[in-house]
Amino acid sequence: MSFSATSQTDLHAQPTSSGFLLGAGRVTWTTMMALTLLGSASVAGALMGMAISYRDLPDVRSLAAYAPNETTYIYDINGKLLTGLHEEENRQVVPLDKISPHLKLSVLAIEDSNFYHHDGINPLGILRAALTNYQAGQTVQGASTLSMQLVKNLYLTPDRTLSRKLAEAVLALRIEQLLSKDELLELYLNQVYWGHNTYGVETAARSYFKKSAEQLTLGESAMMAGIIQAPESYSPFVDFEVAKERQNIVLNRLLELKWITPDEAEAARAEEIALGEITSFQRSQAPDVTNTVVQELTQRFGREALVRGGLRVQTTLDWKMQQIAEQTIRRNHQYYAHAADQMALVAVDPRTHFIKAIVGGVDSKKSEFNRATQAYRQPGSAFKPFVYYTAFATGKYTPDSSIKDSPVSFNDGGLERYKPQNYDRTFRGSMSIRTALAQSRNVPAIVLGQKVGIKNVIDVSRKLGITSPIPNVISLPLGAVDLTPIEMASAYATFANNGWQSKTTAILQVTDRSGKVLIDNTPQPKLVLNQWAAASVNSTLQTVVQSGTGVAAQIGRPAAGKTGTTSSERDVWFVGYVPQLSVAVWAGNDNYARIGAGATGGGWMAPVWREFMSEALKDTPVENFEPPSKFSKPKG
């Protein structure tokens, strides 16, 4: 389509490639014509009176800083859209130069072809529209200018009364003095309702045709412009044939104005239209992640800013990994549903502490409760590595240090002495710490906890990022504490990164509608653990997978991890990692019912962990853990 310059007195002036031509002498001529066409002196007097009385009408000066309600969008770390958050108005604002010229022409043609030549009211346009609509037997042209439609939508009620029409005209004159034509057109195209709770051209284009407003063809643009007058009735989602009729009306109007050629019109009519889908109020593609993000942002910015402020939220989620996690949980739950009604999985990148995947339950449609971040369950023996790290950090113990697995008893302050037992109710005498952890012996962990001090174990847990209440009890080394899967995955991630830790988060960055950065969670790693002690934990936990209770978690590359089974048989865990990914998986019942005899973290959860990791790491290079010998051992 080519644009040519036209005279300033041509009422059908075409847009040029660099902008739109403006008419000359607009205020005096247009206003006088308006008063003449409005008829009686009383009506003209009313208009002039309203124009003088600023107190009776809204102050349009606020329009200069007006920002329409805009949808907040949440993306994964690679830019994939996960969901949009909005209330009534689902809208994405775009600048005028990001809107297809075809759409600008189509809207102007059918709604206000003299937009760039009037001052807000167009008397001749009113007469012409009335005549055209009468001859057609239906509404094919709008009588109000775009400026009048804009102030009606922004400031006035929809009542069809003379007083409201007069107010509409006066306010249109005012905003024409306040904003340029391009600014008004941009505001109109972003403000207008396009049906199905969709506002603004960009959101409508992505809904109707799955493309941006900038990419719209002439055929698509004519169809969109044609539905403005009655979007719920003319929508192609409602009646495609009616939408085609409206498209043809717009194309005919473009031809009449000589803004397109007959060949262009014919090509647009013949164009195959591929419809999209209604996008308002769609369910999130990763509800466990987006719900977590929404809770945090609501606390920080408030609900109004979140659903109306047009925020752009880039999460740390990896959509491909999220899909693998969801499929893994769904597939494996069918084997355990008879005993455990829920499962959860959370994956954290040790290098950044970014949350890469969250599955908070077996069916988020039935329950939005996120067990990965909100369920406080006892980790059982998966807590033991915190005790062993505390021992290594003293410099008095190594993975090969000996420890006794023999009957012991402690005075816990009650009437009966505490006598810890191993899972198999046996004792195996003296063994190395590596063996004790690999075989998940309980007594050595209790003994070591007393030697290093439970308070010190709690302090280490805090360094690892655990914020849940931790009781100072003798049985703490066996997991006598309620923690969340995200806390466990994050703590183990710090081991995987040799003691370096960043803030664990599901949000990478948040910007406002203008692009200003509101949140920036670029990793800022701090060394919170002794590196030799952390590497010793990594070495010991590799033995768990190689020959201990976690052999079912072997994935053909160096991996470390720990099983967890509570003595009450209510929770089973496996928490494990490679240098690039730390993952916790859990199963249990929401009502805390017992899972049943024979359910263990090694037998149930280690295979689930293996399945997820094998798929999630398929394209990730194999990395080895750094050995303790690379670091200096603390002095004991």
Catalytic residue numbers, as ranges:
111, 381
Kindly tell me the number of DSSP H helices and DSSP E strands found in the chain.
22, 17
Encoded amino acid at 575, one letter: V
Question: Nearest 5°: CA angle at 148, between 146 and 151?
Answer: 110
Helix (H, G, I), strand (E, B) or coil at 298: helix
Q: Which residue has the tokens 């942002």?
A: 297
259: how many CB neighbours lie within 10 A of its CB?
Answer: 21
How far apart CA 195 and CA 126 sit, in angstroms, is 25
Structure tokens at 202: 């960009």
Q: Are 171 and 150 in contact (CB under 8 A)?
A: no
Specify whether the CB–CB gap between 247 and 216 falls below 8 A: no
* Dist CA 310 CA 297 (whole Å): 13
Q: Are 585 and 302 in contact (CB under 8 A)?
A: no
Matching residue, tokens 């007083």: 163
Neighbour-count burial for 609-634, b at 16+ CB within 10 Å, e otherwise: bbbbbeebbeeeeeeebeebeebeee
Q: What is 238-278 written as a DSSP string? A: T-HHHHHHHHHHHHHHHHHTTSS-HHHHHHHHHPPP-----
**Residue pair 594/568 in contact by the 8 Å Cβ criterion:** yes
